[in-house]
Structure 1
Amino acid sequence: MAVSFEHRRTVPAGVDVVVVGVPSDRLESAGVPVEALTGQGFEGKVDQVATIVRDDGTTQVFVGVGPSAEVDVLGVRRAAAIAARACARRRSVALTLPELLPTEDRVAAIEAIVEGSLLAGYRFVRYKSDPSPVGLERLVLVDGTSVDGDDREAAVQRGRRVAEAVALARDLVNTPGGELTPALFAEAAVEVAERENLQVTVLGPDEIAEAGLGGLLGVNRGSTNPPRFVELTYEPDDPQGSLALVGKGITFDSGGLSIKTAEGMMTMKDDMGGAAAVLGAFSALAAVAPRCRVSGYLPLTDNMSGGDATRPGDVLKIRNGKTVEVLNTDAEGRLILADALSLASEARPDAIVDLATLTGAVEVALGNRIAGLMGNDLHWIDEVRAAAERVGERVWPLPMPDEYRPRLDSEVADLRNISKTKDAGTITAAMFLREFVGAGIPWAHLDIAGVAWWGDAAEADVSPGGTGWGVRTLLELARTFRSES
Structure 2
Amino acid sequence: MAVRTPVTFTDDDPTTARVDALVVGAAKQSGTVALLPGSGLSEEAAAAVTDALGALGAEGGTEEITRLTGVAGISAPVVVVVGVTGRGPAPRTEQLRRAAGAAARALAGRDTAVFALGQQGRDQAVAVAEGVALGAYTYADQHGIGKTGSSKAGLAKAVVAGLGGEEAASAQAEVEALVEGVCYARDLVNTPPNQLYPESFADDVVRRAEEAGVEVEVWDPQRLAEEGCGGIIGVGQGSGRGPRLVTLRYAPEGAAKHLALVGKGITFDSGGLCLKPGASMVTMKMDMGGAAACAAATLAIAELGLPVQVTAYLCLAENMTGDLAQRPGDVVTMRGGRTVEIINTDAEGRLVMADGLALATEQGPDAIVDVATLTGACIVALGERTMGIMGNDDELRDTLVRLGTESGDTAWALPMPEELRPSLDSPVADLKHTGERSAGAMVAATFLQEFVGTRGEGEDAAPIPWAHLDIAGPAFNEKAAWGYHPKGGTGAGVRPLVALARSLAD
Q: TM-score, normalised on structure 2?
A: 0.90
- In structure 2, how many angstroms separate the alpha carbons of the residues matched to 1:297 and 1:140? 37
| Contact 1:288 1:475 (8 Å CA) reproduced | no
1:339 has 2:355 as partner: yes
What residue in structure 1 maps to residue 471 of structure 2?
448
SS across alignment from 1:24: strand
1:400 has 2:407 as partner: no
| From 222, 237, 246, the counterpart of 1:206 | 222
What residue in structure 1 maps to residue 41 of structure 2?
none
- In structure 2, how many angstroms separate the alpha carbons of the residues matched to 1:53 and 1:118? 24
| From 162, 168, 186, the counterpart of 1:152 | 168
Q: In the TM superposition, what is the alpha-carbon distance from 1:133 to its structure 2 partner?
A: 4.2
- In structure 2, how many angstroms separate the alpha carbons of the residues matched to 1:318 and 1:53? 64
- In structure 2, how many angstroms separate the alpha carbons of the residues matched to 1:298 and 1:466? 18
- In structure 2, how many angstroms separate the alpha carbons of the residues matched to 1:51 and 1:380? 45
- In structure 2, how many angstroms separate the alpha carbons of the residues matched to 1:339 and 1:112? 37
What residue in structure 1 maps to residue 458 of structure 2?
none
1:10 has 2:3 as partner: no
- In structure 2, how many angstroms separate the alpha carbons of the residues matched to 1:286 and 1:108? 21
What residue in structure 1 maps to residue 158 of structure 2?
139
| Contact 2:109 2:156 (8 Å CA) reproduced | no
What residue in structure 2 maps to residue 41 of structure 1?
57
| Equivalent position amino acid for 1:111 in 2 | V
What residue in structure 1 maps to residue 257 of structure 2?
241
| Contact 1:289 1:479 (8 Å CA) reproduced | no
- In structure 2, how many angstroms separate the alpha carbons of the residues matched to 1:278 and 1:34? 45
What residue in structure 1 maps to residue 119 of structure 2?
100
Sort the Cα spacing of 1:13 and 1:378 in 2 relative to 1 into closer, same or farther, 3 A: closer
| Contact 1:3 1:136 (8 Å CA) reproduced | no
- Segments of structure 1 that go 5 or more residues without pairing to the other structure are none
Q: In the TM superposition, what is the alpha-carbon distance from 1:68 to its structure 2 partner?
A: 4.4
Sort the Cα spacing of 1:479 and 1:254 in 2 relative to 1 into closer, same or farther, 3 A: same
SS across alignment from 2:79: strand
- In structure 2, how many angstroms separate the alpha carbons of the residues matched to 1:261 and 1:473? 33
| Contact 1:290 1:480 (8 Å CA) reproduced | no
Number of aligned pairs? 474
What residue in structure 2 maps to residue 363 of structure 1?
379
What residue in structure 1 maps to residue 439 of structure 2?
424
Aligned-residue RMSD, C-alpha: 1.8
- In structure 2, how many angstroms separate the alpha carbons of the residues matched to 1:20 and 1:61? 6
What residue in structure 1 maps to residue 128 of structure 2?
113
| Contact 1:24 1:68 (8 Å CA) reproduced | no
What residue in structure 2 maps to residue 348 of structure 1?
364
Q: Provide, for residues 342-368 of structure 1, a one-character-per-residue CA deviation record: whole Å limited to 9, x for no partner.
A: 000000000000011111111111111
| Contact 1:23 1:68 (8 Å CA) reproduced | no
Sort the Cα spacing of 1:380 and 1:135 in 2 relative to 1 into closer, same or farther, 3 A: closer
- In structure 1, how many angstroms separate the alpha carbons of the residues matched to 2:477 and 2:412? 19
| Contact 2:229 2:355 (8 Å CA) reproduced | yes
1:430-469 equivalences under 5 Å are: 430-439=445-454, 440-469=463-492
Q: In the TM superposition, what is the alpha-carbon distance from 1:135 to its structure 2 partner?
A: 5.3
| From 277, 295, 302, the counterpart of 1:286 | 302
Q: Provide, for residues 70-94 of structure 1, a one-character-per-residue CA deviation record: whole Å limited to 9, x for no partner.
A: 4132222222112111212221112
| From 51, 55, 63, the counterpart of 2:82 | 63
- In structure 2, how many angstroms separate the alpha carbons of the residues matched to 1:135 and 1:261? 35
Q: Provide, for residues 402-427 of structure 1, a one-character-per-residue CA deviation record: whole Å limited to 9, x for no partner.
A: 111110000100111111x3211111
Sort the Cα spacing of 1:23 and 1:2 in 2 relative to 1 into closer, same or farther, 3 A: closer
1:377-416 equivalences under 5 Å are: 377-416=393-432
| Contact 2:105 2:154 (8 Å CA) reproduced | no
| Equivalent position amino acid for 2:490 in 1 | T
| Equivalent position amino acid for 1:460 in 2 | G
| Equivalent position amino acid for 1:453 in 2 | F
What residue in structure 1 maps to residue 493 of structure 2?
470
- In structure 1, how many angstroms separate the alpha carbons of the residues matched to 2:9 and 2:308? 33
Q: In the TM superposition, what is the alpha-carbon distance from 1:2 to its structure 2 partner?
A: 4.6
Q: In the TM superposition, what is the alpha-carbon distance from 1:280 to its structure 2 partner?
A: 1.1
What residue in structure 1 maps to residue 502 of structure 2?
479
- Segments of structure 2 that go 5 or more residues without pairing to the other structure are 38-45, 455-462
SS across alignment from 1:239: coil
| Runs of 4 or more above 4 Å deviation | none
- In structure 1, how many angstroms separate the alpha carbons of the residues matched to 2:469 and 2:426? 25
Sort the Cα spacing of 1:280 and 1:135 in 2 relative to 1 into closer, same or farther, 3 A: closer
| Contact 1:3 1:139 (8 Å CA) reproduced | yes
What residue in structure 1 maps to residue 95 of structure 2?
75
| Contact 1:303 1:332 (8 Å CA) reproduced | yes
- In structure 1, how many angstroms separate the alpha carbons of the residues matched to 2:9 and 2:406? 26
1:193-232 equivalences under 5 Å are: 193-232=209-248
What residue in structure 2 maps to residue 192 of structure 1?
208
Matched-pair identity in %: 44
| Contact 2:214 2:302 (8 Å CA) reproduced | no
| Contact 2:24 2:82 (8 Å CA) reproduced | yes
Q: Which moved more, 1:230-239 or 1:34-43?
A: 34-43
